[in-house]
Structure 1
């Protein structure tokens, strides 16, 4: 796994995570694009997703409410910018504050490469805009949050969840 992050939206390549997953690319793509699967792995360890909508089409809606173990809800909304089955998904997403206003927006590019029955996964999440000083804490948590999410994704598609 390779992780890089800087919070400067002007100069940074963003958070980049690469993994090889012992599952077929079609299964990994389905885990990203089927909202029922997405709800099972999205977010850090011990979080649930009581509301999870993902429309796997260009301009499709994304809306997820992550629920922390203490019951706090962390909503996010976004839009699918590009989808090319089964190899690429690009989406914009905004973490929302308590009043449902965007704190910051990221552009996330998911690339899936077929590797003889395994899947090469590359996730790049680049901060596109920052709207709130509260965003810093969230942005600083992105490496751990994404790593834990991808651990959960891997467990789901490999049957070890």
Structure 2
């Protein structure tokens, strides 16, 4: 019984961010689904995305690297679980530290048309701690701001 309670508590630690974009759903989806677009906005403020590979289909793998202002590379990877163009994308996410994958989380990106614009709902779960979730909230929040700036100028 104790394990089930711990598992339920862990699942409660999740992240949700909602952002509206002044761009059509098709463009926002394309920004998530092609390497040439991801290389323009992926990563928190002041980080530079410099490597993205993706096999964009259910079961396909992706891997990306962002570089910090200090020059440190941060690799991440995962698998696409669901691709429903242009309204939904589900993929696993794990940091690759020293060649070993970290803990897997699941990311769901849902896109809805709101009068020719896009409402994006970003969800990531589960997190081991609230602090871990909050650090992701800051990073993804900055990332989504970069995405907004990018699609506004495409």
**With structure 2 as the length reference, what TM-score do the two structures score?**
0.87
Q: Which secondary structure state, in structure 2, belongs to the residue aligned with residue 104 of structure 1?
A: coil
Instruction: Point out where structure 1 has 5 or more consecutive residues left out of the alignment.
Output: 1-7
Looking at CA atoms only, which structure, 1 or 2, has the larger radius of gyration? 2
Return closer, same or farther for 1:74/1:143 CA change in 2, 3 Å cut-off.
same
Of structures 1 and 2, the one scoring higher in RCO (CA 8 A, sep 6+) is 2
Are the counterparts in 2 of residues 75 and 96 from structure 1 also a CA contact under 8 Å? yes
1:70 aligns with 2:40: no
2:107 maps to which residue?
108
Q: Is the 8 A contact 1:111 1:121 kept in 2?
A: yes
Q: Map 1:35-74 onto structure 2 (within 5 A).
A: 35-74=35-74
SS of alignment partner, residue 23 of structure 2: coil
From the superposition, tell whether residues 136 and 20 of structure 1 become closer, same or farther in structure 2 (CA, over 3 Å): closer
Q: Is the 8 A contact 2:59 2:79 kept in 1?
A: yes
Provide the TM-score with structure 1 as the length reference: 0.84
Q: As a proportion of its length, which structure holds more helix?
A: 2
* Aligned residues between the structures: 147
Question: Are the aligned partners of 2:13 and 2:133 in contact in 1 as well (CA < 8 Å)?
Answer: no
The structure 1 segments of at least 4 consecutive aligned residues displaced by more than 6 Å after TM superposition are none
| Gap regions ≥5 residues in structure 2 | 1-7
Whole-Å separation in 2 of the counterparts to 1:52 and 1:9? 34
